[in-house]
Amino acid sequence: MPRVVIPGIDVALLTGPLVLGYMWSYCLYGILVVQLYMYTEAYPRDRAGIKAVVWGMFILETVFTLFITIAAWNQYGLGWGDTDTLVIIDWSWEPLPALNGVLAGMAQMFYTWRIWSLTKQLWVPTIITLVVLTQVTVAFYYGIVVSVEGRGVDKLFALTPEITLWLASTAAADLLITLSLVWIFSRQKQRTNFDRTSGIINRLIRYSVETGAITSLGAIIEVTLWLTSHQWNIHFIFFLVLGKLYANMLMTTLNARAPMLRGEMSATGSVPPNSFWADTHNSPPGTNLNLNTRVHISQTVDVDKDVDPIAMDDFSLTGIPARGEHKPDW
């Protein structure tokens, strides 16, 4: 069967990126389901607020996936061979910008709350919150305008400043969060002389950079593709996966508490008395308990000079001795 040829239009660059975006979005949704299962198994007694964020993002991602499934069917199923589908955005795309903005905002506000918990200072979280609110507001505005003024692809071109502001503020919020966490952890690292503490903080710094870089890079690539080649649909690849990147990075951050704790257990031969990622409402991940048996566990900890405990209560640093003092002054 010969290819469909439309003079002046490369059909492959209009339909191909959408196919890739749909497939990669489904792949990330499957990863998110696995991460949600791991989270529910490892942290059944996490705080209600954290659980609300986790389940809220999963429900929104499920709704997002349902809408893109409808969009894919209407374009490549019912609309197969209809050239109008190349220039008319399907109705199922209308809520997607708002959903993407909300999903990014939820993940970013979680990290903002974490920064406030670590520092108890408001000026950095306030700046990040304003940037996050900007991107969420513009995402809603973008979706509403397209719905009201028509779903033609040409309508998107008139919204180039708004779309650029949305994606740029999304990337800016990610960069601010990453830089803030690195600064906080680096400052705390300077306050200790102990190798074990420095090792934990180094892992936290590396983890913050890696998770922040993935979401920031996704937003930067999308805005770059939009500004340089918005006449094609290549930028839609990242549009369809950006929200799931935020959800997966958040779940990765939460689930990372279990591997870090297991690493300390294998290194010391026992559960550390305090762990930066340990949740005081949880039992150690990986512990097998017989629910029909009453078990009493006692633990004796010998503190030597090379033990530098780190405690984290609701994502707040406590108990890290600074040079020449017993508690940090921040």
Number of domains in the chain: 1
* Residues composing the chain: 330
More confident residue, 41 or 212: 41
Residue 151 located in a structural domain: yes
Whole-model pTM: value is: 0.74
Cβ contact 60:103 at 8 Å = yes
Residue 6 DSSP symbol: B
Print burial letters for 167-188: b (CB count within 10 Å at least 16), e (below 16). Answer: bbbbbbbbbbbbebbbebbeeb
* CA–CA distance, 169 with 131 (Å, rounded to integer): 6
What are the tens digits of pLDDT across the range 82-128? 777 777 778 888 899 999 999 999 999 999 998 888 888 888 899 99
Residue 117 located in a structural domain: yes
Range of the domain at 52: 15-262
DSSP string, 137-193: HHHHHHHHHHHHH--BHHHHHTTHHHHHHHHHHHHHHHHHHHHHHHHHHHHHHTT--
Residue 304 located in a structural domain: no
* CA–CA distance, 18 with 325 (Å, rounded to integer): 58
Residue 132 located in a structural domain: yes
Residue 320 located in a structural domain: no
Residue 39: give its domain's CATH number. Answer: 1.20.1070
- For the cut 70, the answer to whether the pLDDT of residue 316 exceeds it is no
Residue 155 located in a structural domain: yes
pLDDT confidence of 232, banded at 50, 70, 90? Answer: confident
Residue 296 located in a structural domain: no
Residue 292 located in a structural domain: no
- For the cut 60, the answer to whether the pLDDT of residue 309 exceeds it is no
